[in-house]
Amino acid sequence: MRELLKFNKVTSTQDVVKRFIKNNKELAVFALCQTKGRGRHKRVWFSPPGGLYLSILVYPKRRINTIPLIPCLAVIETLKEFGIGNLTIHWPNDVNINRKKVCGILCERVDDAMICGIGLNVNIKDFPSRLPDATSMYIESGVVYNLDEVLDHLLKNFWSFYDALQNDTFNLEYAFHYVDGIGEPVEVILSSKERLSGIIHNIDEDWGLLIRTEEGVMRKIYYGDVVRLS
């Protein structure tokens, strides 16, 4: 049984869980709000009360590159269990409802550990104007959810997918159904100086994005921001 630590307010669940890395025990940290929540590339993550803020500490022995997919699938399965549909994964690790972002995921590797941070918009009713493409479970359904119940479902699904991945019983084809944009033209922002344009061809078995470039060359990437061109 993995431990779950609950807090009312933290700077960031990612920061809190890092204190436990040397204990070599898998656990999760949950908070009702964050004062310095962050997403990928150190972007600020909007973290008011009403969201679900969770960081899960794991020590994977295999399939390291595939770990960021696990929280995505756990969130999707949880949303399905609460009757929410039209779900997609915006590679590498955003979960969308009707192509609006309901969840962001930040995975950080520290030595032999991996920290999976999940920010799920549950009962948030309004977002700042700087987040025009954000949504929440409440906005999509009109239902106010019990956060503890959503958390229980999310953790159950995460550990189920994670254990399957580590035990080599994980079915990656299940994930392909939810990947958004396959066959569509995109631009991938790899860095401030490098961009890649092409068509999303597929996802490979270790969660790399396969892009067929304008020159017809197949490229595999593991990081970057994907921007649709259609």
DSSP string, 100-161: EEEEEEEEEEETTEEEEEEEEESS-----TT-TTB--HHHHH-----HHHHHHHHHHHHHHH
Short-list 30, 78, 28, CA closest to 51: 30
| pLDDT(136) > 60 | yes
Short-list 66, 55, 65, 64, CA closest to 26: 55
**CA dist list (Å): 220 to 128, 199, 205, 213, 227:** 35, 12, 11, 10, 16
pLDDT at 41: 55
Q: Which residue has the higher pLDDT, 230 or 49?
A: 49
Question: Is residue 189 classed exposed, middle or buried when 0-12, 13-18 and 19+ CB atoms within 10 A define those classes?
Answer: middle
Q: 211 near 185, Cβ under 8 Å?
A: no
**CA dist list (Å): 196 to 11, 36, 78, 192, 219:** 35, 31, 33, 12, 9
The answer to which of 40-44, 134-138, 180-184 has the lowest mean pLDDT is 40-44
What integer is the mean pLDDT of 141-153?
97
Three-class SS state of 14? helix
What integer is the mean pLDDT of 16-37?
92
Q: Provide the residue type at 189 as one letter.
A: I
CA 200/CA 213 separation, integer angstroms: 9
pLDDT at 199: 92
What integer is the mean pLDDT of 115-124?
96
pLDDT at 37: 72
Q: Which residue has the higher pLDDT, 152 or 206?
A: 152
Q: Residue 102: pLDDT band by 50, 70, 90 thresholds?
A: very high
Question: Looking at residue 6, what DSSP letter applies?
Answer: E
Q: What is the mean pLDDT of the chain?
A: 90
Q: Residue 114: pLDDT band by 50, 70, 90 thresholds?
A: very high
What integer is the mean pLDDT of 182-204?
86
Percent of the chain with pLDDT over 70: 97
pLDDT at 166: 95
CA 48/CA 164 separation, integer angstroms: 33
Domains of the chain, CATH where assigned: 3-176 (3.30.930.10), 185-228 (2.30.30.100)
| pLDDT(148) > 60 | yes
Q: What is the pLDDT of residues 37-68, one digit of tens each?
A: 776 656 667 778 899 999 999 999 988 889 99
| pLDDT(34) > 60 | yes
CA 51/CA 119 separation, integer angstroms: 7
Short-list 71, 86, 204, CA closest to 141: 86
Backbone angles phi, psi at 83, to 5 degrees: 80, 20
Q: Which residue has the higher pLDDT, 223 or 63?
A: 63
| pLDDT(70) > 70 | yes
Q: 223 near 190, Cβ under 8 Å?
A: yes
What integer is the mean pLDDT of 164-177?
88
Q: 92 near 61, Cβ under 8 Å?
A: no
| pLDDT(172) > 90 | no
